[in-house]
């Protein structure tokens, strides 16, 4: 029985274009990760781990048990076997979902959602390369390490792009991950949700124990609010609208509100020793990724 | 058509005006529907919701928009009703129309207006047969009736002629037309009486009604000039009607005298306003002009009047001057080249026929010019004869010589045939016994007849006669030596002149006779006698060739292919076919003018039953077109206002859909205002340039221009930069690189603030064209392949900045791309730009340069890249290492430039949060490199700010040691 609706060719075309887009974004993320890989402080140093790292000549005071007798037997000197430092962190990435992220004020700018996911994916690949365990909050993906983890991460992150959410802002499911003691959470969002949702989110964040890295991603138009003349503003989902007779007169107020939110985030981050930064989609992604990588570095 | 009596406007379809009653309804309708807002997607609507309380969207259309639209509707309705301004009942006669046009010289002044009137008349009815009858056509021809369309080219080809109207010839032609033919006549009269006008009018009235259109303005003309007994010129301005008195609203007319200037170019020599008394119809003008000007006059004309009547020609120079040469007596035979007359004869021979005579006979021969070479004594009888000859216009030119130098006059007497009193003896310059050197000539004074002759360098004067001091000496001197002593003097005597060369006419005294200058000077002096106003010549019996002719608009042009005219015909000229102008027969030249000296311009007079209308009377003019245009303009304004209200105009990148239409509409209006674009062009470069000495300048350049003043924004920027230490960068031509430069300098500034006593302000982008450079101790200039070349003015300012203690750091940011022997694009560009600046000799930074220890002790200068060579001003070659001192004394000053490719800004660059923007190297090593880059930056700024201070510190131990002893 043929139940395929008439829209099937259309769906197929959409799927193809989505596949192309996802492919493009993956390539972008990989390229992005490469630009920063040079600057990334790898974990390639001795430490508590499983894998062999190097032999070094034994010195006075070294524990005799640490001497690798097999290696020492091949030479006159005594050698110690050192292992690679493998303190895997569990890092969860969260990218805000919701229609509001599917926005770019100009054609040549990427959608906020795209930029956020490219950043998340590039970061994830770098971290996985560095031996960390990386997971996702939405869609839920437990922290994993290893080669397949990167592919799974890409699949989950970019696959979510296919669906257009009906609501402008979805609550971020912080869940138990947020409460994990040694967890590290990277939250990429525009933080433009309604006021009560924002208050709620901040409250939830403040009560958590995981280390947080917050990146606010904004379109330049959202930052500057460059509109003039009578305008009806409609949210991306079309659910909310607001008509203003003279938006230019309210630009300063708008920017003040935005700055207020940022200040609250900044304050929270400073108090808890977390990191907060703002990224605009017309700036280079490298810059944001470099910042993320630094922000995730263990404090030395 | 109906024509209300109070306003000269009539409507073709008056009933359409009833639609105006609908306007209130329209008003109400439009009021109810306000313009819709623009809709935009914007995710931060949630934030806007918190703002919206203060903002109420407009629910109603603004009143001015309503007014605009109502006006638009009114205009459309009015235009549809076909309004006509100044409606005039069409002429009752519908038959053929004959247009008689006076196209003689008197009609030229407002010819375009006349043509326009005729065109409008014949186009009023495209079916009506029309004929043209010009009264001054060279050849009289019977009128031919055609359709207005066929007539148009004939009308376009019709031009005013430079002779008077001749209607007399036309009356018989009209009489000869078919007896049954009747037509009405419109006569565009020139307003000046013409012979035979009554006869033509009678012939025309026999065929139908005659109407006349005549300009009420007076017609002006110039009579030819005459020479009066005392040498002044007299001519008159005549008018067909009484002229109003000249005053504030009636500016005086200007008489222009056109001729050749001393350099031989034809131009206006004299402009003289002619004031008019009240109600004058004849204004006499008297001119006394200097004689050499008289000889150069070509014609007189009234400025701003394009008519043959406003031009009055003079005969011009006839032939060549006759020159008589008188040699000193003595008679001893000399060699030819030593003869005092040889050079004179050779030079004058080029100017005109030269004859020799004795002194006693010279005046009797009555030549134009008499040249006396070194004749000192003239007996009283001859003197009187010569004086009389000069007074009648003769030109006496005398040359000094040994005889004249030896002659002494009895004290208290003067020679009337010398322009100045001479001192006895002569002055030698540059001889064996003299201290002085031969003198050159000074440039000719403005009033001199020699003015404009180029002075060669090689003319030197060794001997001269000196003039006794005299109040008139200065004004009589027409050429002088560089020390101000006279070389040539001249005085007017009656209508003639007496000229004296204070040197001999032989090369004994000067090199003047060997020079081209001699010939030019004599050419200026030896001009034909009398003036350009020639005596009457016999015309008949010769064929006269037109040389230059006046056209109907009073323009004088060379006659090409014009047939010669027999003298008998020329006597009655001008007449149809014979234009005024200059005619020539052999050596004779004869000016033909429109009038005799006593001509009178009579106004045309018409019988009382002929209706006369002024030329400027308005014609019926349909108004629908202008109204529709106005409506279109209002529509454009309205669309613009709508866009404004909807906020669409503010979108920058994507023009609203209406824009192409708008642009098209504006373009279609463009021809209405030609030249506007030029008016909009930027005024010539008056960029406020800014300079001044950089902060630690030593001495100002000796030839430095005064520092230009700063104003407005440039001043504010300069103040901001000067109020704190501020690092500046110059535009690289690529916005991305500029951002990095800004971020890099910010990073360096932060590091300086953290670690040193230098606390710079935020870095600034510096425009060398506009900004003051002086407040910046350091300018960073990242060079890319697309870095624009600064303008010459900017380069000069940069040079000045470098010369007065500034420093520019050039950075091509491409160290890894460098290959030996091959330039990267950025380096090619750097080479080009640096080549335009004044650069010192460069060398790689020596290991002991003060840069390596001005704050940190560093060994290398890495940025994002390491290993690129860093160039700096080469140390002086004589610098040598002093024994016991670890460093050579180098660079007493600070190098004005530092050139490298290590991309230091990339390593310093931080974002607003203070985090590095770009990765450096890899891993921990990379971070160390970033740190070294920062240290280099700090050293660099310290070096720029403190100069060789650290170098001097080296000597401190030695100094202390000496103090202790």
Domain ranges within chain B, ordered by starting residue: 1-36+62-78+635-670, 97-219+602-619, 220-313, 323-525, 543-592, 712-953
Residue pair B46/A194 in contact (Cβ under 8 Å)? The answer is yes
Q: How many CA atoms are closer than 13 Å to the CA of B7, on its beta-carbon side?
A: 6
Contact A35, A28 (CB under 8 A): no
Of the candidates A42, A229, A236, the beta carbon closest to that of B43 is on A236
A79 touches chain B (CB under 8 A): no
Name residues whose C-beta falls within 8 Å of residue B178's C-beta, 6 or more positions apart in sequence.
none
State the pLDDT at residue B587. 64
Q: Is A252 on the interface with B (CB under 8 A)?
A: no
Among the partner residues B43, B44, B645, nearest to A229 by beta-carbon distance: B645
Q: Partners of B221 in the beta sheet? A: B238
Shortest Cα–Cα distance, B614 to chain A (Å)? 57
Query: What are B782's two structure tokens?
Result: 């990242």
By the CB < 8 Å criterion, does B38 face chain A?
Answer: yes
What part of A 164-183 touches B (C-beta under 8 Å)? 168-169
Q: How far is A36 from chain B (nearest CA, A)?
A: 7
Rounded-to-integer distance, Cα A224 and Cα B164, Å:
79
A219 — pLDDT class (breaks 50, 70, 90):
very high
Interchain contact B641–A (C-beta under 8 A): no
Strands (E), B535-677: 543-550, 556-558, 565-566, 581-585, 588-592, 612-614, 621-622
Helix (H, G, I), strand (E, B) or coil at B650: helix
Q: Which of B421, B408, B414, B404 is nearest to B470 (CA)?
A: B421
Would you state the pLDDT for residue B536?
57
Q: Tell me: the pLDDT tens digits for A17-29? A: 766 777 777 788 8
Looking at residue A52, its pLDDT comes to 66
* Among candidate residues A49, A186, A51, A175, the one with its CA nearest the CA of residue A127: A186
Q: Does B52 touch chain A (CB under 8 A)?
A: yes
What is the 3-state secondary structure of B254-267?
Answer: EEEEEEECCCCCEE
B220-313 folds as Immunoglobulin-like (2.60.40)
Stretch (H or E) spanning B63: helix B63-80
DSSP code at position B643: H
Provide the pLDDT for residue B113.
Answer: 84
Least CB–CB distance from B653: residue in A106, A253, A257: A106
Helix B624-646 to helix B63-80 angle (10° resolution) is 160
| Interface check A259 vs B, CB under 8 A | no
Q: What is the pLDDT of residue A50?
A: 56
CB-based contact A296:A186 (threshold 8 Å): yes
Question: What are the pLDDT digits (tens) for B725-747?
Answer: 899 999 988 899 999 999 999 99
- The answer to whether B438 touches B473, Cβ cutoff 8 Å, is no
Q: Token pair 């109070």 is at which residue?
A: B6
Q: ∠ CA(B754), CA(B758), CA(B764), 5° rounding?
A: 95
Q: How far, in Å, CA of B859 to CA of B854, rounded?
A: 12
In angstroms, what separates the C-alpha of B946 from chain A's closest C-alpha?
A: 35
Q: Which backbone phi and psi does B260 adopt, to 5 degrees?
A: -90, 135
Cis peptide before A139 (omega within 30 of 0): yes
Dihedral sign for Cα B921, B924, B928, B931, please: positive
Q: Is A290 on the interface with B (CB under 8 A)?
A: yes
Query: CA-to-CA distance for B521 and B517, rounded, in angstroms?
Result: 6
The Cα–Cα gap between B662 and B643 comes to: 11
B646 at the A interface (CB within 8 A)? yes
Q: Which strand (E) or helix (H) includes residue B695?
A: none
Q: Closest-CA residue in chain A for B919? A: A39
Burial, B946: exposed, middle or buried (Cβ in 10 Å; 0-12, 13-18, 19+)? middle
Structure confidence at residue A139 (pLDDT): 80
Q: Does B336 touch chain A (CB under 8 A)?
A: no
**H/E segment holding residue A259:** helix A247-272
- Asked whether the beta carbons of residue B644 and residue A258 sit closer than 8 angstroms, the reply is no
A244–B57 C-beta distance less than 8 A: yes
Whole-angstrom distance, CA of residue B19 vs CA of residue B160: 50
HEC sequence for B98-124: EEEECCCHHHHHHHHHHHHHHHHHHHC
Domains of chain A in start order, with CATH, are: 28-37+88-296 (3.40.50), 52-83 (no CATH)
Residue B328: count other Cβ atoms within 10 Å of its Cβ.
19
Alpha-carbon distances, residue A32 vs A27, A214, B579 (angstroms): 8, 19, 90
Yes or no: is domain B712-953 CATH 3.40.50.720? no
* Residues B395 and B419 sit within 8 Å (Cβ to Cβ): no
CATH code for the part of the protein at B323-525: 3.40.50.880
**Interchain CB contact of A35 with B (< 8 Å):** yes
| Rounded Cα gap, residues B98 and B698, in angstroms | 91
Closest CB to B58 among A192, A245, A277: A245
pLDDT for res A293: 81
CA separation, residue B357 to residues B351, B360, B362, B687, B753 (Å) = 18, 8, 6, 71, 102
Cβ-Cβ contacts under 8 Å for B318 (sequence gap 6 or more)? B528, B534, B587, B588, B589
Residue of A nearest to B35 (CA): A230
Count the helices and strands in chain A (H runs, E runs): 8, 10
Pick the CATH number of B97-219+602-619 from 3.40.50.300, 3.40.50.410, 3.40.50.2300, 3.40.50.800: 3.40.50.410
**Cβ of B915 under 8 Å from any chain A Cβ?**
yes
CB B583 within 8 A of CB B565: yes
Cβ of B42 under 8 Å from any chain A Cβ? yes
Contacts of A247 in chain B (CB under 8 A): 647
- Nearest by CB: A242 against B48, B650, B924: B48
In sequence order, what are the residues at sequence separation of 6 or more whose Cβ sits closer than 8 angstroms to the Cβ of residue B511? Answer: B458, B459, B460, B461
Contact (CB<8Å) B46/A250: no
Distance from CA of B913 to the nearest CA of A (A): 7
Compute the C-alpha angle A271/A272/A275, nearest 5°: 100
Give pLDDT, residue B117. 83
Please state the ipTM of this predicted complex. 0.74
Cβ distance B52 to A242 less than 8 Å, yes or no, reads yes
Task: Tell me if B220-313 shares its fold with B712-953.
Answer: no
Residues in chain B closer than 8 A to A101 (CB atoms): 43
Q: Which segments in chain B show pLDDT lower than 50? A: 1-5, 57, 89-90, 92, 317-318, 331-333, 531-534, 648-706, 883-891
Q: Identify the sign of the CA torsion B294, B297, B302, B304.
A: negative
């Amino acid at each position: 029985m043929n139940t395929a609706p008439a829209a099937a060719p259309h769906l197929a075309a959409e799927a193809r274009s989505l596949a192309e887009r996802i492919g493009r974004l993956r390539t972008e993320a990989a390229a992005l990760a490469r630009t920063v890989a040079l600057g990334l402080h790898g974990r390639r140093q001795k430490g508590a781990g499983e894998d062999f790292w190097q032999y070094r000549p034994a010195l006075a005071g070294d524990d005799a048990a640490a001497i690798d007798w097999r290696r020492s037997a091949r030479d006159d000197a005594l050698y110690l076997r050192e292992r690679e430092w493998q303190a895997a962190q569990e890092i969860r990435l969260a990218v805000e979902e919701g229609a509001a992220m599917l926005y770019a004020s100009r054609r040549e700018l990427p959608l906020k959602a795209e930029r956020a996911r490219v950043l998340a994916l590039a970061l994830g690949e770098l971290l996985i390369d560095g031996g960390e365990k990386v997971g996702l909050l939405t869609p839920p993906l437990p922290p994993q390490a290893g080669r397949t983890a990167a592919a799974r991460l890409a699949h989950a992150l970019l696959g979510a792009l296919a669906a257009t959410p009906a609501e402008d802002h979805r609550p971020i499911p912080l869940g138990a991950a947020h409460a994990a003691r040694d967890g590290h959470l990277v939250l990429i969002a525009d933080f433009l949700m309604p006021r009560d949702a924002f208050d709620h989110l901040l409250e939830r964040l403040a009560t958590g124990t995981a280390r947080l890295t917050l990146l606010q991603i904004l379109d330049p138009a959202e930052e500057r609010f460059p509109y003039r003349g009578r305008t009806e503003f409609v949210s991306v989902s079309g659910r909310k609208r607001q008509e203003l007779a003279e938006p230019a007169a309210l630009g300063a107020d708008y920017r003040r509100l935005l700055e207020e939110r940022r200040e609250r985030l900044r304050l929270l981050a400073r108090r808890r020793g977390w990191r907060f930064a703002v990224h605009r989609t017309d700036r280079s992604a490298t810059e944001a990724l470099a910042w993320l990588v630094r922000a995730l570095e263990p404090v030395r | 058509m109906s024509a209300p009596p109070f306003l000269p406007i009539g409507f073709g379809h008056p009933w359409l005006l009833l639609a105006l009653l609908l306007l209130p309804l329209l008003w109400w309708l439009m009021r109810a529907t306000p313009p819709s807002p623009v809709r935009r997607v914007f995710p931060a609507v949630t934030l806007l919701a918190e703002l919206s309380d203060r903002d109420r969207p407009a629910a109603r259309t603004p009143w001015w928009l309503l007014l605009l639209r109502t006006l638009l509707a009114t205009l459309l309705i009015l235009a549809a009703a076909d309004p006509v301004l100044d409606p005039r009942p069409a002429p009752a006669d519908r038959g053929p129309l004959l247009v008689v046009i006076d196209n003689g010289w008197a009609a030229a002044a407002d010819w375009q207006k006349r043509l326009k009137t005729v065109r409008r008349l014949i186009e009023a009815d495209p079916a009506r047969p029309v004929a043209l009858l010009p009264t001054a056509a060279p050849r009289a021809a019977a009128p031919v009736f055609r359709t207005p369309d066929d007539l148009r080219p004939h009308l376009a080809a019709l031009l005013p002629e430079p002779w008077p109207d001749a209607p007399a010839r036309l009356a018989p032609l009209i009489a000869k037309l078919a007896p049954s033919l009747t037509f009405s006549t419109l006569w565009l009269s020139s307003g000046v009486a013409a012979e035979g006008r009554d006869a033509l009018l009678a012939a025309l009235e026999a065929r139908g009604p005659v109407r006349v259109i005549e300009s009420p303005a007076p017609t002006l003309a110039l009579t030819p000039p005459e020479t009066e007994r005392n040498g002044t010129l007299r001519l008159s301005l005549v008018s067909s009607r009484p002229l109003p008195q000249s005053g504030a609203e009636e500016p005086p007319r200007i008489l222009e005298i056109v001729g050749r200037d001393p350099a031989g170019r034809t131009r206006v020599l004299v402009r003289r306003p002619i004031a008019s008394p009240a109600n004058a119809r004849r204004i006499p003008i008297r001119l006394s002009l200097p004689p050499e000007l008289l000889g150069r006059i070509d014609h007189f004309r009234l400025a701003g009047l394009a008519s043959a009547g406003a031009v009055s020609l003079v005969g011009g120079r006839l032939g060549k001057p006759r020159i008589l040469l008188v040699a000193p007596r003595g008679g001893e035979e000399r060699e030819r080249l030593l003869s005092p007359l040889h050079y004179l004869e050779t030079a004058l021979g080029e100017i005109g026929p030269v004859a020799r005579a004795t002194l006693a006979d010279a005046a009797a021969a009555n030549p134009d010019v008499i040249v006396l070479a070194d004749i000192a004594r003239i007996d009283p009888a001859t003197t009187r004869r010569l004086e009389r000859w000069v007074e009648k216009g003769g030109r006496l030119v005398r040359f000094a010589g040994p005889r004249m130098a030896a002659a002494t006059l009895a004290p208290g007497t003067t020679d009337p045939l010398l322009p100045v009193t001479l001192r006895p003896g002569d002055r030698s310059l540059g001889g064996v016994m003299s201290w002085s050197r031969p003198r050159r000539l000074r440039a000719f004074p403005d009033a001199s007849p020699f003015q404009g002759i180029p002075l060669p360098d090689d003319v030197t004067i060794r001997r001269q006669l000196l003039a006794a001091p005299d109040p008139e000496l200065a004004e009589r001197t027409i050429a002088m030596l560089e020390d101000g002593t006279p070389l040539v003097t001249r005085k007017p005597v009656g209508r003639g002149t007496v000229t004296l060369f204070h040197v001999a006419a032989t090369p004994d005294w000067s090199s003047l006779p060997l020079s081209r200058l001699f010939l030019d000077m004599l050419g200026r002096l030896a001009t034909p006698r009398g003036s350009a106003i020639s005596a009457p010549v016999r015309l008949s019996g010769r064929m006269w060739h037109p040389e230059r002719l006046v056209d109907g608009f009073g323009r004088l042009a060379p006659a090409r292919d014009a047939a010669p005219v027999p003298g008998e015909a020329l006597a009655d000229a001008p007449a149809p076919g014979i234009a005024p102008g200059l005619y020539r027969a052999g050596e004779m030249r004869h000016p033909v003018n429109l009038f005799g000296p006593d001509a009178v311009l009579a106004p045309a007079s018409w019988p009382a039953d002929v209706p006369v209308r002024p030329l400027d009377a308005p014609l019926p003019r349909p108004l629908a077109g202008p109204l529709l245009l106005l409506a279109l303009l209002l529509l454009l304004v309205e669309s613009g206002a709508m866009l404004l209200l909807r906020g669409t105009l503010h979108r920058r990148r994507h023009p609203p859909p209406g824009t192409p239409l708008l642009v098209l509409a504006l373009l279609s209006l463009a021809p209405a205002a030609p030249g506007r674009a030029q008016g909009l062009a930027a005024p010539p470069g008056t960029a406020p340039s800014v300079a001044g000495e950089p902060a630690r300048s030593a001495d100002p350049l000796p030839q430095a221009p005064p520092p230009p003043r700063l104003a407005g924004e440039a001043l504010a920027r300069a103040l901001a930069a000067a109020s704190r230490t501020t690092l500046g960068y110059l535009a690289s031509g690529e916005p991305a690189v500029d951002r990095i430069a800004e971020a890099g300098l910010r990073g360096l500034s932060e590091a300086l603030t953290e670690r040193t006593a230098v606390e710079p302000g935020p870095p600034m982008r510096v425009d060398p064209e506009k900004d003051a450079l002086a407040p910046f101790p350091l300018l960073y200039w990242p060079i890319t392949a697309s870095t624009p070349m600064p303008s010459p003015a900017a380069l000069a300012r940069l040079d000045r900045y470098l010369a007065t203690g500034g420093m520019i750091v050039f950075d091509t940011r491409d160290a890894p791309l460098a290959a030996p022997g091959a330039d990267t694009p950025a380096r090619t560009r750097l080479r080009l730009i640096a080549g335009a600046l004044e650069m010192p000799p460069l060398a790689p930074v020596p290991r002991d340069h003060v840069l390596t220890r001005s704050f940190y002790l560093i060994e290398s200068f890495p940025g994002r890249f390491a290993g690129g060579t860093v160039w700096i001003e080469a140390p002086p070659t004589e610098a040598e290492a002093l024994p016991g001192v670890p460093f050579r004394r180098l660079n007493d000053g600070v190098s004005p430039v530092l050139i490298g490719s290590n991309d230091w800004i990339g390593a310093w660059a931080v974002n607003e949060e203070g985090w590095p923007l770009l990765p450096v190297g890899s891993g921990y090593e990379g971070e160390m490199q970033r740190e070294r880059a920062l240290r280099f930056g700090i050293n660099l700024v310290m070096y720029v700010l403190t100069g060789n201070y650290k170098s001097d510190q080296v000597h401190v131990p030695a100094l202390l040691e000496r103090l202790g002893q």
